Amino acid sequence: MMHTFTLKSRIRDVYSSPIGRDVIEKLLLQLGGGEKFIKNPLTMSLKLSSLQTLVKKPLTPDFWEALLSLLNSEKSACLEKPTVSERKWWKESVFYQIYPRSFCDSNADGIGDIPGIIAKLDYLRDLGVDALWICPIYDSPQDDNGYDIRDYFSIDSVFGSMEDFDLLLSGLHDRGMRLIMDLVVNHTSDEHEWFRQAVNDPESKYRDYYFFRKGKEGGAPPNNWISFFSGPAWKETGDSGSWSLCLFSKKQMDLNWDNPEMRQDVYKIIRWWLDKGVDGFRLDVINLISKTPGLPDGNEFIGELMGMRGIERYFYGPNLHDYLHEMREEAFEPYDAFTVGETPGIGIESGKLLTAPDRRELDMMFSFDHLEMPGKTRFDEYVYDAAFLKTYYTRWMRSYGNDYQTALFYDNHDNPRMLSKIDPQGKFRDKLAKMLAVIQLTLRGTPFIYQGQELGAVNMSFNNIDELRDVESLNMYRELTSKMPEAEALRKVGSGARDHARIPMQWDSSKHGGFTTGQPWIKTLADGNDTESQSEDKDSVLNFYKRLLQLRKNNEALVYGEISVLKTHELIFAYSRESGGEKYYIECNLSDRQRERPANRPDVELVLSNYPTESEKMMAYEAGVYRIRN
């Protein structure tokens, strides 16, 4: 059934649509106190316009226009249960994400590279990972560390050569492992040939590959959208008052997906890499590719709530589904290639619309809703409560069941370490690292381990702005210091900086943790948590990961098994996995205090735990995997 939503629609009806549900929940969470509102059964019979009662200032007509046009853009009002649920290698695999710049440097120039990765392939195989996702290694001016691509068909010389790449790929395949590349096609570098031609020759066909627009009267940009990396999302291109859209840095120019020829050129890139034998792609900010026609201003209020003005005009654009579907049909499906979308802002229900097997869009997506507590943003200084992981994953597991596959992760190259968010002082470092590993590797979904996570890597302390490298941090610092003291700006930037996760891997106890023998491109940490010393210690985080990965590999219940979450204390996360006759029970204490074990736990025997013995009470961050006795 198709709805057209208005201010008079019942919240119940809005809720029954996937995007409606996600958008309303997100708004309420950001508003704070929204949870009470949602849980109140009366809420459901209220009209949409009653959202006003939650907000002190009047919601303006343009707020409602923006909200309704988003809600009404989704034509699928409800979701059928998928009819396909096949076995797939990517459901069974554990992925490992490599940030190449910070992984291993082979030639002492201070920057990690492909030969460095090749040197560590045995390490990765022994760890037990099945597939790698490697962040962009294409030719790039490196304004955003490779997410600004100049030439999609060549390897950046800083990382090596195409021969190195071929060796990497065959090295992986020889070991029975797979490789997915990072595909960045929401934008290209401003140094990409297409963009250069578009600027140099306004008559060129490439002009329409991007969003060139005239500015507003008085020299202002064409609309009020804000960049993810501070300031307006526009860059002046040429002296004729023309601007071009860039949602990220001033060197990352948004592509116009409404141009069919541009889309075909993108599919050529994908097919070229698939012809080489890569197994799939992680699709960078792929939910941003469809912009609302006319590029209308973003609503101020939504912008304030979400910390990004304009976002409702492109994070779930009107042609998103069509473009994903077309791309799959033309590029991925002929190769049976795997796709995981990076989809910031997409919630549970709209995520299903993107990944339902029979809709044939994406195989999987990354949701980010668990990376910060509700109402918080990455740059807020606060301690993350691990109990939220239970709330989040319980909802997610219930909603996804066995019909959809989701990506399970805590860390990536864009976020501080989860370990440090929960335990900033590092008091429970090993126990907590192991507990997080248990949850990630035993829930239903495909785990993505980010480099260093298997060693219990933590945040870096940045004491000076000169120690940071990331364009996002540097722009933000510049903006903040115009309105606050430098020390305060540094603290704020430091609490969310992406560079925390970009400090190099530690391989041994030598200088710079064995990452390089040269001058590293960024500060290094050598705190003894390196692969060499952890390999020797049987109780290390690394060896715990190895055991868990083996356990998952050898027990189908942990991969395809049904999951059911035990009703118990909110600080205890306990669930079972079951397939065929195989049954597992997982029990985690999400707090740093002792707790009673659940009284209703099944009859079990311990398989793996982060404590040497099982005591009557659960210890701080205790996590155990048990076999259920039949």
Task: State the catalytic residues.
Answer: 284, 342
# binding residues, ligand TEU (CB under 6 A): 13
Least distance from C-beta 178 to Ca ion, angstroms?
Answer: 24
Spatial CA neighbour of 531 closest among 434, 454, 613, 474: 454
Residue 167, token pair as written in the block: 């060796």
128, 232, 317, 344: which one contacts ligand TEU (CB under 6 A)? Answer: 344
Residue 426, token pair as written in the block: 């590092």
Least distance from C-beta 495 to ligand TEU, angstroms?
Answer: 14
Does 499 bind ligand TEU (CB under 6 A)? Our answer is: no
Least distance from C-beta 453 to ligand TEU, angstroms?
Answer: 16
Three-class SS of 580-595? CCEEEEEEEECCCCCE
Distance CA 450, CA 99 (A): 8
Does 105 bind ligand TEU (CB under 6 A)? Our answer is: no
414, 423, 454, 622: which one contacts ligand TEU (CB under 6 A)? Answer: 414
Does 472 bind ligand TEU (CB under 6 A)? Our answer is: yes
Q: Please spell the DSSP secondary structure of 424-472, one letter per residue.
A: TT-TTHHHHHHHHHHHHHHSSSEEEEETTGGGT--PPPP-SGGG---HH
Q: Which positions ≥6 away from 153 have C-beta within 8 Å?
A: 138, 269, 272
Please identify, using beta-carbon distances, which residue of 406 and 555 lies nearer to ligand TEU. Answer: 406
Question: Strand, coil or helix: what is 513?
Answer: helix
Does 284 bind ligand TEU (CB under 6 A)? Our answer is: yes
99's contact among ligand TEU, Ca ion, none, with CB below 5 to 8 A by partner kind, is: none
Does 107 bind Ca ion (CB under 5 A)? Our answer is: yes
Please identify, using beta-carbon distances, which residue of 188 and 531 lies nearer to ligand TEU. Answer: 188
Please identify, using beta-carbon distances, which residue of 159 and 477 lies nearer to Ca ion. Answer: 159
Least distance from C-beta 180 to Ca ion, angstroms?
Answer: 22
Does 285 bind ligand TEU (CB under 6 A)? Our answer is: yes
111's contact among ligand TEU, Ca ion, none, with CB below 5 to 8 A by partner kind, is: Ca ion
Q: In this structure, what are the phi and psi dihedrals at residue 211, rounded to the nearest 5 degrees?
A: -110, 90
Does 330 bind Ca ion (CB under 5 A)? Our answer is: no
The stretch near Ca ion (CB under 5 A) out of 112-120, 225-233, 342-350, 355-363 is: 112-120
384 contacts 423 by C-beta, under 8 angstroms: no
Q: Please spell the DSSP secondary structure of 16-82, one letter per residue.
A: HSHHHHHHHHHHHHHHSSHHHHHH-GGGGGSBGGGGGGG-SSPPPHHHHHHHHHHHHH----S-PPP
326 contacts 263 by C-beta, under 8 angstroms: yes
Distance CA 423, CA 415 (A): 15
143's contact among Ca ion, ligand TEU, none, with CB below 5 to 8 A by partner kind, is: none
90, 248, 257, 621: which one contacts ligand TEU (CB under 6 A)? Answer: 248
- Beta-bridged to residue 138, according to DSSP, are 155
Please identify, using beta-carbon distances, which residue of 318 and 344 lies nearer to ligand TEU. Answer: 344
Distance CA 86, CA 97 (A): 25
Tokens 């001033």 sit at which residue? 250
Q: What x-and-dash track marks residues 137-176 binding ligand TEU by CB under 6 A?
A: -------x--x-----------------------------
Least distance from C-beta 103 to Ca ion, angstroms?
Answer: 10
147's contact among Ca ion, ligand TEU, none, with CB below 5 to 8 A by partner kind, is: ligand TEU
- Beta-bridged to residue 280, according to DSSP, are 180, 338
Q: What count of residues does the chain have?
A: 630
Please identify, using beta-carbon distances, which residue of 107 and 481 lies nearer to Ca ion. Answer: 107
Least distance from C-beta 109 to Ca ion, angstroms?
Answer: 4
- Residues of this chain, 364-403, that bind ligand TEU according to CB under 6 A: none
22, 105, 349, 361: which one contacts Ca ion (CB under 5 A)? Answer: 105
Burial tier of 330 (Cβ tally within 10 Å: 0-12, 13-18, 19+): middle
Does 76 bind Ca ion (CB under 5 A)? Our answer is: no
Least distance from C-beta 606 to ligand TEU, angstroms?
Answer: 38
Least distance from C-beta 287 to ligand TEU, angstroms?
Answer: 9
Q: In this structure, what are the phi and psi dihedrals at residue 26, rounded to the nearest 5 degrees?
A: -60, -45
Give contact residues for ligand TEU (rule: CB under 6 A).
144, 147, 184, 228, 248, 284-285, 342, 344, 413-414, 472, 498
